[in-house]
Amino acid sequence: MPILPIDTGRYGTPEMLRIFEEENYFQKLLDVEAALAWAHAQVGNIPREDAEKIMKMASTKYVKVSRVKEIEKEIKHDIMSLVRAFAEVCGSSGAYIHLGATSYDIVDTAKALQLREAIEVIGRKLDDLELILIKLADRYKRTIMIGRTHGQHALPITFGLKLSVWMREVSRHIQRLRECRERLLVGKMSGAVGTQAGLGAHALKIQELVMQKLGLKAAEVSTQIIQRDRHAEFICLLAIIASTLDKFATEIRELQRTEIAEVFEPFRREKQVGSSTMPHKRNPELCERICGLAKIVRSLVFPALENIPTWHERDLTQSSSERFLIPEACILVDYMLHLMISILSNLEVDEERMRRNIEITEGRTMSEAIMIALARKGMNRQDAHELVRRLVIQSISEKKPFREVLMRNDKIRSFLSEDEIDDALKPEKYLGTAVTQVEIAIRKTLEERKTRGLG
C-alpha cells in the first residue's frame, strides 16, 4: 500500500524510480552473485558449467522477489534469503552461490551498480540544466534590471549576469559529481572482516575479475563493508545541489512577487488553478516545491555523516538508515532537477517591468555613478560620497527626483555639467563589464562541455 509521496507517485521521475524499485535492486544483487560465480570458475575454483548455470538463472525472471521475501519471513536474513531462493532455481549448481562472500560484498557492490545508474541520470539532467542556462544567459545578457542587496535596490545589472552566475554554479556541481563518482563507484569481495580468507588463494584475482565483469573499481582495502565516507560525500553533494536549486527557486519566487513581477515560473493558463478560493492567484508553487524538498535532502546529510563511524569492522547501524537516505536523496534531487529544467525552459521574463522597477527610486540607485563621476573630475572620493549621501536623503525626504536635487546643488554643478549628470544617471551606462563577464562565462562553459563530449 503506497504511503509516502514517493510511493504514491507525487514526487520522482519514472527513470529514477525504476533504479530504486525493489525488482531492480534484487536484479543487481543477482548480477553480483553471478559475477562472483563466474570469477570462481575463471580461477578454477568451481566447474565452468556450474558458473554458466548460475549466470543463466541470475534474473528476477527466475528468482522471484516474492519467493525471497517468503524465505526471509522464516530465516530473518535478507541476503541469505536471496541466496537460498537463487540456489533453488539453479539445482546442483546452487551449491556454489555466494562462495567465500559475506552479505555486504553483495549488498555494497550492488549498491554501487544502482548508484552508477543514478549518477548517470543526475549527470544528464545537470548537463541539460547547464545548457538551458547558457542559452538564457546569452539571451538576456543585455537585459537591464536592478541588482538587489539586502533586499534593497542596489545598482543596475543584467538578467544575463544573474543567470551566468547560476550557470557556473551548475558547472561546478557537474565537476564535483564527476570527481565524487570516482570515489563512490567501487565494489568489493573481501569477506567477513576484509581479509578475503574465505575466497582462497586467488582472492585478489577473484575480486579483480568480479569488478571487471561489473564495470566497477575494487576498493583499495575494506572491512566487512565499503567505508561510508564515500556515500556521505555523495549525499553531501546532493544536498549542495539541492541547495543550489533552492537558491534558484527562491530568487524566482522573489522576482514573481506582485510588487516586483519581473520573472514568473510557467503557468498553464487554460486549466491551472492557483488557489481554491482566490481565482486571481498565480502562485510560484513549483519553485516552492523545490524549496520544500531541499529541506528534506539537506536533512539526509546528518544520518549520512553518522553512518561513517561503526563498531570495529562493521555493525548494522548504517544499514537501516541508508535504505531511506540513498534512494530518497537520489529520487528527490533528480525530481528537483526535472522541475527546475521545466521552470527555466518556460520562464516568463517581463523586461519592460524590469526597466520600470529601476525607476522606482527616481534615479537614486545611480548614486555611485554620480560619486565616481565627481571623483574623476577631481573631488575627494570621501567628500563625494558624503555629498551624494546627503543629496540622496534630501531626494527621499523632499520626494523629489534625484536628478532635480543634483541639478539644484551648486557643489555638484561646479564639477559636473547637465549632460554629465544625465549621462551618469543612465543605467545602461553603468553596467561595467557585465556583458563581457557573461560572454566569458559562456565561452568557458562551452569549452568544458566540449571536453565532456557535449555540444
Grid cell at residue 261: 513581477
Residue 199 φ/ψ region, left for φ over 0, alpha for ψ in the -120 to 50 degree band, beta for the rest: alpha
CA distance 382 to 59: 77
Coil vs helix vs strand at 135: helix
Amino acid identity, residue 144?
I
Contacts of residue 289, Cβ cutoff 8 Å, sequence gap at least 6: 339
Pairwise CA distance, residues 174 & 434, whole Å: 24
Residue 21 per-residue DSSP state: S
CA atoms within 13 A on the CB side of 63: 35
What's the grid cell of residue 292?
A: 520544500
- Rounded Cα distance between 401 and 364, Å, is 8
Residues known to be catalytic: 150, 275
Contact 15, 121 (CB under 8 A): yes
Cβ-Cβ contacts under 8 Å for 51 (sequence gap 6 or more): 37, 38, 40, 41, 93, 96
- Under DSSP, the state recorded for 219 is P
Instruction: Specify the DSSP class assigned to residue 269.
Output: T
Taking CA atoms, 28 is separated from 34, 35, 114, in Å, by 10, 11, 7
